[in-house]
Structure 1
Amino acid sequence: MNLEQRLIDLSITLPAAAAPGANYAAGVMHRDVVWISGQLPRDGDRVLVSGKLGKEVSIAEAQGAARAALLRALAALRDTAGDLRRVRQIVKLTMYVNCSEDFSEHSAVADGASDLIYELFGPELGRHARTSVGVAQLPRNACLELDIVATLEE
């Protein structure tokens, strides 16, 4: 599986990777595992979808935001690993959903990113571990933040 080629086949262009805003790395690689720091659904410095699920933001809007945040995570993965052709699989997705206390559709929001991972990697490697949780607030009032863990070809 060549992730770089798959993105081209699907006409998906990754954004530029965002530089960390403090004393941390956008990604850390140890042997064949890469951890990517949390990514907001942003275009440059602009948050694409802000607000709380269960109040101002619909599930459909948040699913689109999840897709955008995943693309930013893949850009950070590219920069950390040096080449997307080295990526074997996304093994873990964690989704943090900015939501009202009565919102309970966190998994539906995470589907926006999970569906894209599945589309990119296919049925064999596209299935991944996942956690989705609701939180009281996120940076810049973003509707969600996600992080991923990926493995590389040896």
Structure 2
Amino acid sequence: MNIYDVLKEKGITLPAPPPKGGVYTPVQEFGTNLLYCSGCGPDLGNGNTVVGRVGENLTLEEGQKAAYNCMLNLLANLDAKTGDLNKIKRFVKVLAFVNSADDFDKQPQVVNGGSNLLVDLFGEEVGCPARTAIGVNTLPGGIACEIEVLVELKED
């Protein structure tokens, strides 16, 4: 399975890697064949972003769209770093932060918007990592979601 064929088949175009919002490395190599990806928000650079608090002024579905966009940005950063998303052996860990109303408790369902994208593209074995979904009272710029991932690459 070629991931770029899957993207094309599903009508998904990766955005350009998002600009950095501070002093950090978007994707950091460590250990043997491991990549840690700094958190990405939902701004795809084309005005298609999601700002607000889920459960307050955003619906669950709008939160899921934010998580989906976050994952697209992470894939764009991984593509820029590796030059080939087919090098990914598996997604190891997802850590997600959801900008949530105080009484909102469906953060895992919000993050499914991004997790489902990984499974749809890479399959269960590669695209279904361990995961944590946390509700927070605010995120940079008021974005609805921020997600980071840990990825293992295939042996050369």
Q: Which amino acid aligns with 1:12?
A: I
Question: Which stretch has the larger CA shift, 41-50 or 29-38?
Answer: 41-50
2:63 partner SS: helix
1:43 partner SS: coil
C-alpha distance after superposition, 1:56-82 (max 9, x if no partner): 000001111111110000000111222
Percent identical among aligned pairs is 34
Residue segments in structure 2 that go unaligned for 5+ positions in a row? none
Q: Which amino acid aligns with 1:11?
A: G
Which residue number corresponds to residue 142 of structure 1?
Answer: 143
2:123 partner SS: helix
Residue segments in structure 1 that go unaligned for 5+ positions in a row? none
How far is 1:47 from its partner? 6.3
How far is 1:40 from its partner? 0.6
1:21 partner SS: coil
Q: Which amino acid aligns with 1:23?
A: V
TM-score by length of 1: 0.93
TM-score by length of 2: 0.91
Q: Distance in 1 between matches of 2:125 and 2:43?
A: 30
Q: Which amino acid aligns with 1:20?
A: K
Q: Distance in 2 between matches of 1:133 and 1:140?
A: 18
Q: Distance in 2 between matches of 1:139 and 1:125?
A: 30
Q: Distance in 2 between matches of 1:5 and 1:153?
A: 19
Which aligned pairs between 1:62-77 and structure 2 lie closer than 5 A? 62-77=63-78
User: How large is the Cα RMSD of the aligned pairs?
Assistant: 1.5
Q: Distance in 2 between matches of 1:65 and 1:89?
A: 23
Which residue number corresponds to residue 17 of structure 1?
Answer: 17
Q: Distance in 2 between matches of 1:21 and 1:123?
A: 32
Q: Distance in 2 between matches of 1:110 and 1:50?
A: 15
Q: Is 1:5 the equivalent of 2:10?
A: no
Contact 1:19-1:26 within 8 A present in 2 as well: no
Contact 2:95-2:132 within 8 A present in 1 as well: yes
Contact 2:95-2:133 within 8 A present in 1 as well: yes
Q: Which amino acid aligns with 1:121?
A: F
Q: Distance in 2 between matches of 1:7 and 1:45?
A: 19
Contact 1:34-1:81 within 8 A present in 2 as well: no
User: What is the count of residue pairs matched by the alignment?
Assistant: 154
